[in-house]
Amino acid sequence: MVIDNEIKGRLALITGASGGIGAACARDLFAAGAHLALTYSTNKAAVDALLHELEPQADERRTTSHACDVAREDDLKRLFDEILQMHGQHPDILIANAGYGKRVSNILDISIEEWDKCININLRSSFILTKLAVPHMQEQKWGRVVYISSIAAGGTSINGCHYSASKAGMQGLSKNLASKMGKDGITFNDVAPAMITETGMIPSEENLKGTPGDVKNIPVGRSGKPQECANVVTMLCRTGYMTGQSILLSGGLK
Ligand SMILES: NC(=O)c1ccc[n+]([C@@H]2O[C@H](COP(=O)([O-])OP(=O)(O)OC[C@H]3O[C@@H](n4cnc5c(N)ncnc54)[C@H](OP(=O)(O)O)[C@@H]3O)[C@@H](O)[C@H]2O)c1
C-alpha cells in the first residue's frame, strides 16, 4: 500500500479562520503547501487581512474566503457549492474549528435556546460538514478530518455543561468515523485545546484569573498559543497512521 502524507497541493477547508486558532491553522497548512478555503461568520475583515498577508507567498495556490454560519445547513451546502465552483473540487482536508462557548457555569442558567445554539454551532455543524466532505475523500481514498474539540469534553471547563457536551459529542463522532472509514483512506482525529490565549474566546491570561484555567493551575505555568494548536493539526494531517485519537493540548492541565 502506498503511504501518502503529502499536504502540498491539497485543498484545506478551515472553518472559523477569522478566529485565533483557525487563522493559525490556515497559516500553517498554507506554509505546508495547501490551497485554502477559509470561512468566517461575522468577521470578514479578519479573513481578508489573513489572505492579504498570505498573498505574496501564494504562487499558484488558490485561497478563497467564504461567509458561512455553520449553524445553518443551507449555508454549509452553499459553502461546498462555492468551493467546488472556485476550486474545481471539494476539500481534501477538513478542519472543523468554528465554535461557540459561553461562560455560564450553572445548568439552571442555561436556557434550552442556549443549549441548542451551542450544540448546533459546535456538534451539528461538525456532523453536516463531515457528511458533505467524505464523498470526495472516499472517492480519492485520501482525506484528513480534524475537529477542534476542547478539554471541556472531559469535564474541566470555563464554559457550561452544554459546551462540554457539544465537544464530547465531537470526540464521539470522530472516534466512530475513524473506526468505520479507515479503509477509505480518511483519518479522523480531534485536538482538545485548553486555555489558548490570543483568541476571541480567551484574549489574554487576565481573562482566566479565578477560573479553573487560571495560569497558576496550569503545570507548564502559561497559557497555550494558537500556533501550538496549528502544530498539532498539521502533524495530524501529515500522519495517516494516526486516527481516532483525541489529543489534549493543555500544558498538563487535567
Ligand atoms: N481558545 C481556547 O482556549 C479554546 C479551548 C478549547 C477549544 N477551543 C475551540 O477552538 C475553536 C476556535 O476558537 P478560538 O479559541 O480560536 O476562538 P475565536 O478566536 O473566538 O474563534 C472562533 C471562530 O468561530 C467562528 N464562529 C463562531 N460562531 C460561528 C458560527 N455560527 N458560524 C461560523 N463560524 C462561527 C468565529 O467566526 P467570526 O469571528 O467570523 O464570527 C471565529 O472564527 C472553537 O471551536 C473553540 O471552541 C478554544
Best CA proximity match to 40, nearest among 63, 17, 10, 6 = 17
pLDDT tens digit sequence for 86-145 = 999 999 999 999 999 989 989 999 999 999 999 999 999 999 999 999 999 999 999 999
- Residue whose C-alpha cell reads 475537529 in the numeric block: 147
Residues whose beta carbon lies within 6 Å of some atom of ligand 1: 16, 18-22, 40-43, 68-71, 97-101, 121, 148, 150, 193-196, 199-202
CA distance 152 to 82: 33
List 40, 100, 147, 163, catalytic entry: 163
Give the ligand 1 atom nearest the CA of 125.
32
pTM: predicted TM-score of the whole model, two decimal places? 0.98
pLDDT tens digit sequence for 240-254 = 999 999 999 999 999
Best CA proximity match to 124, nearest among 193, 195, 71 = 71
Query: Could you tell me the residue ranges of all domains in the chain?
Result: 11-249
CA of residue 219 to ligand 1 center, whole Å: 25
Could you tell me which CATH number the domain at 11-249 has?
A: 3.40.50.720
Give the ligand 1 atom nearest the CA of 41.
40
